[in-house]
Amino acid sequence: MTVVEAFVPAKVNLTLHVTGQRDDGYHTLDSLAMFADVGDRMTIIMPGEYRLTVEGPLADGVPVDETNLVLRAARMMGIRADIVLEKHLPHAAGLGGGSGDAAATLRVLSGFAGKPVPGGGIELGADVPLCLQSDAARVTGIGDVVTPVPNLPVLDAVLVNPRLPVLTAEVFARLKTKENPPMPAEIPAFGTAGELIEWLGGMRNDLQDPAIEAEPVIRQVFETLERTPGCLLARMSGSGGTCFGLYQDAETAGAAAGRLKEDSPSWWVTATRLNTQRRYT
């Protein structure tokens, strides 16, 4: 019997430009993403059955049947395993939780079997190839082209989610303009976090307005976060509904998170650091 424990970091889309839509319906993207030092945890036991148990503080609402990407990942690799998923990230939150969990499963089972992940995992979702790498990267195409962006500064951040799942398909359906400008061809070198944050201010998340239209509470989250002392930039991650704020240091981010937890106790709020290179364990 082999038992592997894995940490699954939250993915944060610092930018998300929707650049087009292919004939097959898939949207093309241009996104700069980082990974946080908060996330889910998994225990994978091999050999076993195709069996998934979900526990942890945010387990409610997470499916344990074949609709869960974790089980689909195990079946993709053709390896029977008993998997325990400990959920610490909100469900359907724009943080790549489900894709990250699937990517962790693919990574562990691939290593166990000594065979590659079919198609880089793109069949399971647009975020899976990125989550397989779990490093700062630029993502283009339909999510299948992942280009590492090394040497970016660490960012101090606060993540806020109103505990309301947001359906990606609904957000894309509300997107009025499918062809938008990409990021610059070259991402500059940044000497400090402040320089990176200033540059990010000129970028976009094209799904932010459609997500707010679908779930107006996201606007409240965004505006509340934006007003916290020391917030240098606020934006939505992915297709929502998690928003992030960026701060000059961990102390300022921690103070903002404490204030938000006190003022909005029903929301999921956490201070975190992005791009610390914490890897699966």
* Residues involved in catalysis: 11, 127
User: Would you tell me how many other CB atoms lie within 10 Å of the CB of residue 64?
Assistant: 15
Residue 248 DSSP code: S
Structure tokens at 269: 């709020």
Nearest to 213 by CA among 173, 181, 161, 245: 173
As a dihedral over the C-alpha atoms of residue 109, residue 41, residue 9, residue 65, rounded to 10 degrees, the angle is 70
Taken as a whole, the chain contains a residue count of: 281
**Contact call for residues 247 and 254 (beta carbons, < 8 A):** no
**Cα end-to-end span (Å), the chain:** 18
Q: How far apart are CA 237 and CA 258, in angstroms?
A: 21
CA dist 187 and 179 (Å) reads 21
Tokens (6 digits) for 113 = 């079997």
| Alpha-carbon torsion (142, 148, 149, 153), positive or negative | positive
Measured in degrees and rounded to the nearest 5, phi and psi for residue 18 equal -90, 115
- Of residues 174, 172, 173, 203, the one with CA closest to residue 187: 203
Which tokens sit at 234? 């606020």
